[in-house]
Structure 1
Amino acid sequence: MSIPDWNMAGVVPPIRPGAHPAGKDRSPYRVSLSEFADRFCLSPERLEILNGLIKLRAGLHSIGVTQGFQWIDGSFLEHIEDTEARPPNDVDVVTYAFLPAGETQQSFMPTLFPYIDRAAVKATYKVDHIVRVLPQIDIHDVCYWYSLWSHRRDGMWKGYAEVDLAPTDDVQAMNLLAVKSSGFQP
């Protein structure tokens, strides 16, 4: 499922244009990491943020966090360059992940900490990152993120993306970004 183009308000629509209003063709739009990168790598600033996201994912993969999914949102998914005349500062990501076999949240916390320290992650990767452990998710937590991300701060309804956490597409996405980056050179 591709991510629809921005609507007239500069946001990804929450329901695919032309889809049934009560149908399932809606946000979060499930796409591969490559599709996501291709859709949103539109400027050098966005390229830097996408590279940070892929490096964050590589770090998670290196400690065995490879199963789950990521919800991706924030001004990164908006046409912020037109609506506010600025590039996005970062990308907002909630990672819903299964811990590696044999690990508990308590035993794995020291290993996971570098990826849940929001200030450090944002400074290092340009990703405002939250981690939620599966299957121990509280449905109210999921509802919180869905309702928060399905609306802008001004109340406008909008959509967001979902990518699988598995590393199967990360190299392809990184290669795509390398090709796109050559288009940003003077």
Structure 2
Amino acid sequence: MPIPDFDHNYVLPPHLGDPTEPSHLSPYSSSILEICQKFGTSPNRVQILKNLVEFRRNMTNLGIIEGFQWLGGSFMQDIETLETRAPRDLDIVTFHGLLTTHQFSLIIHSFPEFRSSVLSKKNFLLDHYPVDYCFKPEVTVEHTRYWIQLFTHTRLGLWKGMVRIELNTPFDDQAALDYLNSI
């Protein structure tokens, strides 16, 4: 199912009509290419999406390959109409797992942006937060509860949707980058 269009509130709808039907609920499953095609509508958005592809490449190269990402924030809204401004960043939560202690140590030293939202925002225009879903079930549930509430509401309390993409899709990531470079 494609990413839905913005609704009358200029946001992705939180569901597609029947909130009891799981296939109609946000987060909407997507590919990175579809996200780039849907949201790469301005030079500012294209740059943020190129940064997302680079960020994902770094993750794949460091072995962060099990999991998925939720994308939200003003980037996933028609913020240009709502607030007459370009999006400043893209909000992301990466749910990941199965990293060894050695891998995690390497990630912290060679790709600190993965663990630091301050650095990811500064260097990639991505407000990134990792969640290790293998750590403890109760911690994963609490993180999920927090992020789903934050990502599914605007600052004014309006319900909105978000998008989900899988990790470890290097061919899709390359196709997305090729698309972004062609526009």
TM-score, structure 1 length as denominator?
0.88
Q: Partners of 1:119 and 1:163 in 2: how far apart?
A: 22
Pairing of 1:41-80 with structure 2 (within 5 A) = 41-80=40-79
Q: Partners of 1:11 and 1:93 in 2: how far apart?
A: 17
Paired amino acid for 2:68: F
Match of 2:161 in 1: 159
- Report % sequence identity: 31
Name stretches of at least 5 consecutive residues in structure 2 with no aligned partner: none
Match of 1:141 in 2: 143
The 8 Å contact of residues 133 and 140 in structure 2, kept in 1 or not, is answered as: no
Given the superposition, is the C-alpha separation of residues 177 and 77 from structure 1 closer, same or farther in structure 2, using an over 3 Å criterion?
same
Question: Quick check: 92-101 or 72-81, which moved more?
Answer: 92-101
Compute the RMSD of aligned alpha carbons. Answer: 1.8
Question: Quick check: 126-135 or 111-120, which moved more?
Answer: 111-120
Aligned residue pair count: 178
The 8 Å contact of residues 64 and 99 in structure 1, kept in 2 or not, is answered as: no
Match of 2:176 in 1: 173
1:103-146 deviation line (CA, Å, top 9, x unaligned): 47568644553421222211111100001112225211101111
Q: Partners of 1:75 and 1:174 in 2: how far apart?
A: 22
Given the superposition, is the C-alpha separation of residues 107 and 171 from structure 1 closer, same or farther in structure 2, using an over 3 Å criterion?
closer
Given the superposition, is the C-alpha separation of residues 165 and 76 from structure 1 closer, same or farther in structure 2, using an over 3 Å criterion?
same
Paired amino acid for 1:155: G
The 8 Å contact of residues 71 and 162 in structure 2, kept in 1 or not, is answered as: yes
1:33-88 deviation line (CA, Å, top 9, x unaligned): 11111110000000010011111111111211112100000000010001110010
Structure 2 residue matching 1:128: 3-state secondary structure: strand
Given the superposition, is the C-alpha separation of residues 113 and 99 from structure 1 closer, same or farther in structure 2, using an over 3 Å criterion?
farther
Name stretches of at least 5 consecutive residues in structure 1 with no aligned partner: 181-186
